[in-house]
Amino acid sequence: MDQDEDERKLQLNELNEIRMEAYENSKFYKERTKFYHNLIVRKDFEVGQKVLLYNCRLGFMGGKLRLKWIAPFIATNVYPYGVVEIKSESTNKSFKVNGHKLEPFQSNPSLLDAIMEETSLLDLASHSP
C-alpha cells in the first residue's frame, strides 16, 4: 500500500513538472511572438504623397511578368485607422483604400520608365525574323 502511494506521489510530481515546462514554453513563445510583432513597420502616409496601389485582382495566379503594383496615385486625404483616399493622376478619379494595399512611391527614373512602358506581345512577334 505504501509503495502505491509513493508511486502515485511521484506521478503527480512528474505531472506538475510537465505542467511547469509547458507554462515556460508558452511564455517563451509569447515573448518571441511579441518581439516579431513589434518589428512590423507601420506605414504612415501624408497628403500629396505619391503611392503605388497593390493589384489584388491578380490573385495567386498573377503570373511572373505581370506587375503587382498599379502606377502612382496621389494621397489626397488620410483618415484614422489606416484608410487613405487616393486620386489617379491620369483620370482624376478618387477613391478610398486600405493603407495595407499601398506602398510609398520611390521616384527612380529608370524604375518609372519600366513601370510605365507597355509592350504588346503581338508587336514583338511581328518584329521577329
Amino acid 2: pLDDT: 83
Q: What letter does residue 47 receive in the DSSP assignment?
A: T
How would residue 19 be classed by pLDDT, with cut points 50, 70 and 90?
very high
- The tens digit of pLDDT for each residue in 8-17 reads 999 999 999 9
Is the pTM higher than 0.75? The answer reads no
- The tens digit of pLDDT for each residue in 63-107 reads 666 677 787 899 999 998 889 999 988 888 888 998 888 888 877
Amino acid 119: pLDDT: 47
Contact predicate 97/53, CB 8 Å: yes
